[in-house]
Amino acid sequence: MNKEMTLEEILDADVKRNYPPGTDVGELIANINDELRQGGELTRHNNTVIVYRPVEPGIVEHHSFNADTPQNLLDANVKLWEFLQKAKAKEAYTTYTNPKINDLLKQVPDKFKISIDQDPDGVFTAKVAL
């Protein structure tokens, strides 16, 4: 297993892998802080961090930042969905631009039904029925 990284190291690794060149990690941290100020929470599984918050009753938006394996990214999201399910949330969703995430989501256990849509700008939205 990889050494445990700091939040900034995880974000930096994720930015280098998944964001356009020149993306500022500091700006990403500011955005996460805004989410937290709006009632969001942060959870961590190994070197994957997920920021999530309710956007309306029963519906939770979440975003993952991964400096770990794809499997750990998947495991971290499944753990979040299990937690949200126990908390009586009805749906969780996330947006992303990396099409490889679609293949990863095909490995999600059957207890979670996922629908994926793509907008004209290439942004995917995965909705998970809890």
Return d(Cα 31, Cα 57) in angstroms, integer. 22
pLDDT digits (tens, 9 = 90+) for 16-69: 998 888 999 998 999 999 999 999 999 999 999 999 999 999 999 999 999 999
Return d(Cα 102, Cα 73) in angstroms, integer. 13
Burial of 5 (0-12, 13-18, 19+ CB in 10 A): middle
- By DSSP bridging, strand 124-129 and strand 113-118 are antiparallel
Question: What local confidence, expressed as pLDDT, does residue 2 receive?
Answer: 62
7-129: CATH class: alpha beta
**pLDDT of 1 above 70:** no
Tokens of 20: 């356009």
Tokens of 109: 């256990």
**pLDDT of 122 above 80:** yes
Q: Which helix (H) or strand (E) holds 69?
A: none
pLDDT digits (tens, 9 = 90+) for 67-85: 999 999 999 999 999 999 9
Report domain extents, the chain: 7-129
User: Cα dihedral sign for 8, 13, 17, 20?
Assistant: positive
